[in-house]
Amino acid sequence: MFKNIELSEINNDRVVQSLWVLFSLIAAFMLVGAIVRLGMGVDGFNFGVIFYYLLQLIFFGWPMWGGIWLVFYIIERFTLGKKSTTKTVAILFIVEMILPSLLIVVALAFENRANYLGLVVLVPVILAQWLRWKYLKHKNRMYNFVK
């Protein structure tokens, strides 16, 4: 009787597991930015500065990135449920772009650096969320299908 009906629902596990896409893209953008900004000095390309930057990122940056990952994980686990839709996931991604933005605005309020620094950090977050959206939409990774 219902042979031509196809139901789809959001695959919560795949959406949450796609956090690796977000953080790997942000790490790649940061690495490329470090190579471009720090590697090209007056003396030419300097691998020591790049290595030092990576050590700083790993040993001193992990509490911040780990905390942000934990917050995103908790938000996604509690937000995505049985009645989640594509619109819910899109709103969730927008919220996940706004939270680091607010953190950066607060951090830059206490800094005396130029205002473009916030944009340099926010562009990779926005671009990474967009690429995460594309990753989930490609081959319908976001959905469970019932035929």
Residues 6+ apart with CB under 8 A from 25: 124, 127, 128, 131, 132
Out of 4-18, 35-49, 73-87, pick the least confident: 35-49
Say yes or no to pLDDT of 103 above 80: no
Structure tokens at 78: 């509690």
- What are the contacts of 130-134 at 24+ separation with CB within 8 A? 131/21, 131/25, 132/18, 132/21, 132/22, 132/25, 132/93, 133/90, 133/93
Of the pLDDT bands very low, low, confident and very high (cuts 50, 70, 90), residue 5 is very low
